[in-house]
Chains A and B, each alone.
Chain A
Amino acid sequence: MIQVRGLEKRFGDRCLFAGLDLDFAVGRTTVITGRSGAGKSTLLRILNQLERHDAGVVRSDGLEIPAGLPHGEWKRRAARLRRRTGMVFQGYQLFPHLSVLANVTLAPIRGKRVPAADARAQALQLLESVGMAAVADRYPARLSGGESQRVAIARALAMEPEVLLLDEPTSALDPASARDVVGVIQRLRARGFTQVLVTHQHELAQQLADQLVDLDR
């Protein structure tokens, strides 16, 4: 379980969150909403330390990341935290020089040293589960937004994270593509996968949230 306590993030003289306390319960899908600039994406990025916080602490099963750690120590703990979290970016951030399959297998093979054949089999299974097995050999430039997003989810899941972080997963998609992506997220939710999802779309928030956090309140 990930917890944040007394969280603050400063941008110049602006302070976000003002001592936010939150628990992201295991097996639940937490949806974070709020207007633009409320810090939704920033909060998500703090949860895997792509962004450092200025006060408070981020906790995950015995791993403590208080603000102001020396750089070396912070780097070690952030790396451990990232191994437990998968991230799906708003702009997908697929690697354009790699095929869909290679996008999914890169981190398991190179980072986790999973044998290539095993990694490929697992990747194909994941792609199957998001409905993208048929395009495994394509390059990202030939995918639609919805397809890219589903591949991005498969890529994040390939590292077997405990928590999946999704940043505005449907906001750039047409309704049909958005439905496909929401379908994937709902299946993960049904399986009891822990998810934290950021969106500004209230309807989507209502539809997916086990726990709803409104940063405007």
Chain B
Amino acid sequence: MKCLVAMLAGAVLLPAQIELPARYRTAGVLRWASDAEGGAPFVYVDPADPQHEIGFEVELAAELAAVLGVRMVRTQTPWEHLVEGLNRGDFDLVMNGFEPTTDRLPQVRFTRPYYIFQQQLAAMAGSTTATLADCTGRRVGCLGGSASNLVLKQQPGIETVVYEDPSKIYVEIADGRNFAALADLPIAMFYAPQHPGVQLAGPPFGEFFYAIAVRKDEPELQRALDAGIVQLLRDGALERVYRKWGMWSAVEDRLREDRMASLLQGTVPGESAAAATFAWRPSLERMLAGAAVTAGISVAAFLVAIVLGLLLALTRLYGPRPLQWLAVAYIETFRGTPVLVQLLFLYYGLGQIPSLPKLEAWQAGILGLGLNYAAYEAEVYRGAIQGIPRGQVEAALALSLSGPLTLRFVVLPQALRLALPASTNDFIALFKDSSIVMVITVVELSKQYNMLASASGRHIALGLVTCALYLAMSLPLAFCARRFERALERDRR
């Protein structure tokens, strides 16, 4: 009996025996996913040594690998697609400041938390903003799909602006477009000081968790990782890592509490379970709203492209030499660089120049797409104008019509017919390309799909709805273009 007690006591004192599922033991590898883009301080490229990735989760992964007896290999995955990648089997676990949210709980299985964080507000330097209530009626930035995003959603009267990249959420405070930004404390501590004119506002609040996510059907892996985290808590490795990164506070002591073991199994603390059910009606309403944004931006951008494209084509064909060169330079520059870069430059780049007016995201989107497509339209129109037989212009000349009159009444009406098929093609392409404006925070159809699908996991159904909405807009467009073409063709019948 004494012996048994001694054995039991010994078992408690000894490091826990961590048993990984057989397939991972055999392979000797656990693949963990995270996003190193804007990933500090979790995982990011070391600016001093860009061959290496650093971050507290990189060190955590190494510690876990040691106690689990396997290698941990990192897979780069965009943050908003971590859940999908996990369930596709691209990797075995997600460790990337991943918060157990109501949206994610039905889709993945969470371990016990390995970090407790709070929310931190940031505002323009010198402001007296201290709480979310101070932000009522204002624009507040946050990271899409983050805990901060959920907190803001539950706070009435705040206009939330969603970003993909944490390094961007503070940019627009300094230039006055946003009132404040809410982020996880580690993100706020790392990024806010990089922006002059931005200060942390008020004390951190709330209790939120980072936990590792594994597939739903892998409770053994979850338990093994739980055991690994407990081990790191016991031997002080976790605290060592957090202290090194300046992330340790008294709050972290709660990680040892018993409630943590089952805290994230089932429901999320602080959120109602009702939120987890998927509601079609509001989802469809959001997608329709997104479709309206897509249509509006596309039509407006194409109008810009038509007007500017025609000016460019005419300048290139008939303008004085220096202007011709300028037109060519414009066309080649805008055709030869990615529209993504042009949009980022237009919105964030020009936004840094204080003397320029600040564009709203949708304005920058319309302008950026319009400027880009103008280069393509210019070439379409030039080709069409040059496709008009020389004899037509000579006939107009022989009738004493002036150059501008010839252009307006003889050349352009005929060129329109030649340009229409290619131009329609460009419009449909622009229509789909317009989804790229999501990089400058415009929430259009594709972005709505992306957000709704990654929150609910309903990629197939929502994907089909999205495609149907795009087709519902582009097919009538193609149809109208063909009818218009036929109307112009009537003289050929």
A139 to B489, CA, bound (A): 11
* A residues less than 8 Å from B488 (CB atoms): 97
Contact B391–A96 (Cβ < 8 Å): no
Q: Is A140 an interface residue (CB 8 A)?
A: yes
Q: Is B319 an interface residue (CB 8 A)?
A: no
Interface residues of A in 68-98 (CB under 8 A from B): 79, 82-83, 85-87, 89, 91, 93-98
A139 to B402, CA, bound (A): 24
Q: Is B493 an interface residue (CB 8 A)?
A: yes
Interface residues on A, range: 20 to 34
* B residues less than 8 Å from A94 (CB atoms): 395
* B residues less than 8 Å from A142 (CB atoms): 493
Contact A50–B401 (Cβ < 8 Å): no
Q: How far is the CB of B438 from chain A (nearest CB, A)?
A: 42
Q: How far is the CB of B437 from chain A (nearest CB, A)?
A: 37
Which of A103-111, A122-130, A202-210 has 4 or more CB atoms under 8 Å from chain B? A103-111
Q: Is B2 an interface residue (CB 8 A)?
A: no
Q: Is B490 an interface residue (CB 8 A)?
A: yes
A79 to B398, CA, bound (A): 9
Interface residues on B, range: 20 to 34
A217 to B441, CA, bound (A): 80
* A residues less than 8 Å from B417 (CB atoms): 97
Tell me the nearest residue of chain A to B410, going by C-beta.
A95
Contact B492–A107 (Cβ < 8 Å): no
Contact A96–B394 (Cβ < 8 Å): no
Contact A89–B391 (Cβ < 8 Å): yes
Contact A156–B401 (Cβ < 8 Å): no
Please encode chain A, from 126 to 154, with 1 for each CB lying within 8 Å of some chain B CB and 0 for all others.
00000000000001111000000000000
Tell me the nearest residue of chain B to A50, going by C-beta.
B394
Q: Is B491 an interface residue (CB 8 A)?
A: yes
Q: Is B409 an interface residue (CB 8 A)?
A: yes
Tell me the nearest residue of chain B to A83, going by C-beta.
B400
Contact B399–A107 (Cβ < 8 Å): yes
* B residues less than 8 Å from A86 (CB atoms): 398-399
Q: Is A155 an interface residue (CB 8 A)?
A: yes
Q: Is B324 an interface residue (CB 8 A)?
A: no
* B residues less than 8 Å from A96 (CB atoms): 414, 491-492
Contact A91–B492 (Cβ < 8 Å): no
Q: Is A48 an interface residue (CB 8 A)?
A: yes
* B residues less than 8 Å from A50 (CB atoms): 394, 397-398
Q: How far is the CB of A160 from chain B (nearest CB, A)?
A: 11
Q: Given the known inter-chain contacts A95-B410, A97-B491, A139-B490, please indicate yes or no for A107 contacting B400, CB distance below 8 A.
A: yes
Q: Which single member of B395, B399, B491 contacts A139 (CB below 8 Å)?
A: B491
Using A50-B398, A86-B399, A96-B491 as known contacts, list a sample of 6 further A-B pairs with CB atoms less than 8 Å apart, ordered by residue number in A: A89-B398, A93-B389, A107-B401, A111-B399, A141-B492, A142-B493
The 10 A-B pairs at the shortest CB distance, nearest first, are namely: A139-B491, A87-B398, A93-B395, A107-B399, A93-B391, A97-B413, A111-B401, A83-B400, A82-B400, A141-B492
Subset of 9 A-B contacts with CB under 8 Å: A79-B400, A95-B392, A96-B492, A106-B399, A107-B396, A107-B401, A110-B401, A110-B409, A111-B400
- The residues of A with any CB-CB pair to B shorter than 8 Å are 48, 50, 79, 82-83, 85-87, 89, 91, 93-98, 106-107, 110-112, 139-142, 155-156, 159
